[in-house]
Amino acid sequence: MEWQTQFDKNLGVLKIQISKGERDIADNITQIEILNKKKNDESRNIGKQHAEAEVLKSYFLTIGNLVMESFMLIGHLFFMQTYRELEKERDEKIQTLFHDYNLGTIGSSISHEVARQMTQRAELRLKQLLKDIEDKKVACVFCNWLKFVFL
């Protein structure tokens, strides 16, 4: 009988161990299910965040392109303003040159071709004036030499 008692005792311990093992398995299965649910939730969140990131990326690229276009437009406007100011300054200088050297009258707005022609005309006239001055210098020196020789 003693062996029967010992056997029942061992059997009870084994049943407790089996029961504990079954509870541990059930707990592990529950833990696995919880972890799988968390994994699925996190995967969904990652997908949502990836989609939001793509939307934001597209949004920032659009904003970036708009900013670049704005800077290019501002640069173009600045260039055009500077270009017009330079044209105006050129026209004023040509008008002053024509007025100072009695080369004729010109309109207030001058095209590029007309400005080029007028500049060439003024340059030619100035070369003629410089030649006249040189000729007069030579004539004056010659006159002074003649006066010195014959007086």
Give residue 119's identity as a one-letter amino acid code: T
**pTM (2 d.p.):** 0.47
Residue 89 to residues 58, 93, 94, 118, 136: CA-CA distances in angstroms?
A: 46, 6, 9, 15, 34
Domain residue ranges of the chain, discontinuous segments joined by +: 2-110, 121-151
Question: Residue-wise over 42-69: b if at least 16 C-beta within 10 A, else e?
Answer: eeeeeeeeeeeeeeeeeeeeeeeeeeee
Residues 56-112 have pLDDT tens digits of 899 888 998 889 999 899 989 888 999 889 888 888 888 888 888 787 787 777 888
Structure confidence by residue, pLDDT tens digits, 50-71: 999 999 899 888 998 889 999 8
Amino acid in the structure at residue 12: G
